[in-house]
Amino acid sequence: MKQRILHFIDKNKIYVGIVFFFLMWILFFDEFNWIRIRRDSLKLKALKREATYLNEKIEQDKKRLHAIKTNPAELEKFARETYFMKKENEDIYVIIEK
């Protein structure tokens, strides 16, 4: 089998060289080469993951906004947590977990 391949290469050196050159050109030197396609596909996967995360975050924020707009207790909770608002004669202790 190895003899047949070597005989074919010896017999058709020009054609094998052209095919080899064409493959190298397509894989490494062309505008849309294999390396660029691989890098772009990895970047696309990362962007899709980020888009999924951001869409989930948007949905959570919409639900939170709706709760704040419709429920006064949620509005008070949000104001206390975010802006450290307090009632008269009330002390606030902020506990930061490591």
Per-residue pLDDT tens listing for the chain (98 residues): 778 877 777 777 887 788 888 888 877 777 778 888 899 999 999 999 999 999 999 999 999 999 999 999 999 888 888 887 887 888 878 788 88
Backbone angle region of 10, left / alpha / beta, with phi > 0 → left and psi within -120 to 50 → alpha: alpha
* 87 membership: H or E segment, kind and range: none
pTM for the structure as a whole: 0.58
Domain boundaries, the chain: 51-98
What integer pLDDT is reported at residue 53 of this predicted model? Answer: 98
What integer pLDDT is reported at residue 24 of this predicted model? Answer: 83
